[in-house]
Structure 1
Amino acid sequence: MKLFIDGDGSPVKEETIELARKYQLPVVIVTSVDHYTTKEYPDFVTFVYVDKGADSADYRIVGLTKPGDVLVTQDYGLASLVLSKGVRVIHQLGKEYTSDNIETMLEQRYFSAKLRKAGQRTKGPKAFTSEDRERFEESLEAIIRKQVGEE
């Protein structure tokens, strides 16, 4: 099992890396070359850089993930693509994407996009809080524990 992070703009990289350290799991951060970093990371963290482009990271993540892996992303479309491969997917707010809830999320995204295209304003995401960070960590740890057979 590997932990994958859809790295462009993810506010929970450090939390994911710390949990990976605790459970001795590899982390793969997939991100655009626009977000290239020289920051030092532990040896169990690798970066996969992709070309600029709206879906470049998504396509690479779909190609790299395998059943049993865990993906951290806020992208509903990407989540829907890897769920069918047996990948567990979690949002940065701690909500797990499942086959039971992904269609509703995609429909909401579609209707919001339709409203914006028609000139109406829709609410953007709320500011990321310390409570969001805590909820994410608790949810991700629960997923990891289940995947490694500790629950």
Structure 2
Amino acid sequence: MNEAFQAITLYVDADACPVKTEIYRVAGRHRVKVFVVSNSFLQVPQDPLIERIVVSAGFDAADDWIAERAGRGAIVITADIPLASRCVKAGAEVIGPTGKPFTEATVGMALATRNLMEDLRAMGEVTGGPKAFSPKDRSAFLSALDVAINRLKRAGFGSSAP
């Protein structure tokens, strides 16, 4: 592979990811390599473009594995805001499972909100959980992933396979 070419790579924070099937479908269409990273064994399709990575059960082990590899040309799929922040800082495209992109402009506020909610829960406030994942979220995710891959292709990044 020549040094001018860099393939698009998808990193999936997979333990609680509700859109793995959609990721596999879009990645297959675009011929993009996918790393499915988790703390436990997960079933993945038999496809040379999809690689399962099982990390140790250590705290943030999956996040650390992804963050160490994320950079320009990578797309990270995660709902974990601290991981999203690390990956955005490294130059990766980051998308939440609901299709919400994390950018330099939005990740700081998302992190601040997360920390505030964590503090409120620690003080005993009932804050509720996230809203249920919906078909609209799934559709928004598919669109956001397609947009991110096409944006990287226009920027000169390519598919992992012919």
Identify the TM-score tier after normalising by the shorter chain: over 0.9
Q: Deviations over 1:14-64 (max 9, x none)?
A: 11111111111100111012xx13554322100111111330100111112
Q: Distance in 1 between matches of 2:44 and 2:67?
A: 26
Alpha-carbon distance change, 95 to 115 in structure 1, aligned in 2, over 3 angstroms: same
Q: Which residue of 2 aligns with 1:65?
A: 70
Matched, 1:13 2:13: no
CA distance in 2, matches of 1:38, 1:118: 39
Report the RMSD for the aligned CA atoms in angstroms.
1.3
Q: How many residues align?
A: 148
Which structure 1 residue ranges, 5 or more long, are not aligned? Answer: none
Distance in 2 (CA, whole Å) between partners of 1:40 and 1:27 is: 11
Q: Distance in 2 between matches of 1:99 and 1:106?
A: 11
Structure 2 CA distance for partners of 1:99 and 1:39, relative to 1, 3 Å: closer
Match of 1:85 among 85, 90, 96: 90
Aligned to 1:95: 100
Counterpart CA distance in 1 for 2:128 and 2:57 is: 27
Code of the residue aligned with 1:9 in structure 2: it is A
* Residue equivalent to 2:56: 51
2:142 to 127, 137, 143: 137
* % identical aligned pairs: 30
1-structure distance, mates of 2:55, 2:103: 27
Instruction: Work out whether 1:76 is the aligned partner of 2:81.
Output: yes
Report if the CA contact (8 A) 2:42-2:52 is conserved: no
Runs (4 or more) in structure 1 with deviation over 6 Å come to none
Structure 2 stretches lacking a partner, 5+ long: 1-7, 156-162
Output the amino acid matched with 1:22.
R
Q: Distance in 1 between matches of 2:73 and 2:44?
A: 29
Name 1:120's counterpart in structure 2. Answer: 125
User: Higher RCO, 1 or 2 (CA under 8 Å, sep at least 6)?
Assistant: 2
Q: Is the 8 A contact 2:70 2:91 kept in 1?
A: no
- Looking at structure 1, the residues matched to 131 and 95 of structure 2 have their Cα atoms a distance apart, in angstroms, of 18
1:28 aligns with 2:35: yes
